[in-house]
Amino acid sequence: MKKILSLLLLLLLSAPALPQQFIAHPWQGKRVAYLGDSITDPRNNGSKKKFWSFLQDWLQITPYVYGVSGRQWNDIPRQTDKLKQEHGQDFDAIIIFMGTNDYNNGVPIGTWWDERVSQVEYGHGQPKTMVTRRQRTPSMDPTTFKGRINIALDSLKRTFPTKQIVLLTPIHRSDFHANEKNWQCDETYTNQCGLYLDAYVDAVKEAAGVWAVPVIDWSAACGLFPMLKEYGQYFHNAETDLLHPNDAGHERMAATLMYQLLALPCTFGK
């Protein structure tokens, strides 16, 4: 028996190595809708290529792009309607990158829920009866950031219940000086509501639990940090535009997103 085991071990050790197997990227060749603002908008001149352009090259993703410069979360329902009109259900997933303009325009954060006291039937180990409970429903206040996210995701999930929806947090932002009427300070300052950008990033991350959608924290993961002069190389203009990433910035964002998306299915079922 020992001789047989020794012979088997020798055969195993001398056998040629099996070829390495690679996992196919779950988003390879899919059709993805991108909703957002200027950093997504193909007409914005901050870069020649956008993050979704790189994903198109690397993963052969067909992009359906609806981002518009200057828009805030309250524009997502309009972009959703346009997506439905143009493609119906004939696409695979949605990626939303929005929030920096809500911060810049001083949109109040608001709350996720409206709460009230209600009557509901309940029975556990005894016949059901009417009991009094607190009940919460999503706040649909269009003047607040969380209310806008609620309105948008309520619309998206009702319109596209079978689609993967992924949220991206706003990235770090520094000075943007387009002209005397569009002079934006960096994120070390509060906005008109007295809030830092962090509050808006955190709200997008919280939306994951509220609406059962995955969130990729681009603010932390992509590494862009324009408050340091060394990162000016990743933005449109190191002197006047540290808000919009250039090609190098978009490539770095896209590389981060590509690897983060490996952990998420693009489609469900067959």
Range of lowest pLDDT (12-16, 58-62, 139-143, 209-213): 12-16
Question: Residue 228: which residues within 8 A CB-CB, separation 6 or more?
Answer: none
Between 222 and 9, the higher pLDDT residue: 222
97 vs 207: CA distance, rounded Å: 13
Percent of all residues in the chain with a pLDDT value above 90, rounded to a whole number: 87
Instruction: Answer yes or no: is pLDDT of 19 > 80.
Output: no
101 vs 69: CA distance, rounded Å: 9
203 vs 215: CA distance, rounded Å: 11
The pLDDT value given to residue 269: 77
Of 63, 64, 66, 61, nearest to 43 (Cα)?
66
The pLDDT value given to residue 125: 87
Does residue 56 contact residue 62 with C-beta atoms inside 8 Å? Answer: yes
pLDDT band at residue 178 using 50, 70 and 90 as cut-offs: confident
pLDDT band at residue 8 using 50, 70 and 90 as cut-offs: very low
Percent of all residues in the chain with a pLDDT value above 70, rounded to a whole number: 91
Give the bridge partners for 147, in sequence order. Answer: none
Instruction: Answer yes or no: is pLDDT of 9 > 50.
Output: no
Does residue 73 contact residue 146 with C-beta atoms inside 8 Å? Answer: no
Instruction: Dig out the tokens for 120 from the structure.
Output: 């509901």
Instruction: Answer yes or no: is pLDDT of 134 > 60.
Output: yes
Tell me how far CA of residue 211 lies from CA of 81, 112, 208, in angstroms: 19, 10, 6
90 vs 80: CA distance, rounded Å: 14
18 vs 176: CA distance, rounded Å: 54
The pLDDT value given to residue 13: 45
Start-end of H helices in the chain:
2-14, 51-59, 76-87, 100-104, 145-159, 197-211, 218-221, 247-261
Does residue 154 contact residue 138 with C-beta atoms inside 8 Å? Answer: yes
pLDDT band at residue 15 using 50, 70 and 90 as cut-offs: very low
**Spatial strand order in the sheet of 215-216:** 62-65, 31-36, 93-97, 164-168, 215-216
* pTM for this predicted structure: 0.90
The per-residue pLDDT for range 23-47, each reduced to its tens digit, is 799 999 999 999 999 999 999 999 9
Instruction: Answer yes or no: is pLDDT of 1 > 60.
Output: no
Mean pLDDT computed over 143-159 = 98
The pLDDT value given to residue 11: 42
The percent helix, strand, coil of the chain (3-state, each to 5) is 35, 20, 45
CB atoms closer than 10 angstroms to residue 171: 26
Mean pLDDT (the chain, rounded): 93
Instruction: Answer yes or no: is pLDDT of 190 > 90.
Output: yes
Mean pLDDT computed over 190-213 = 98
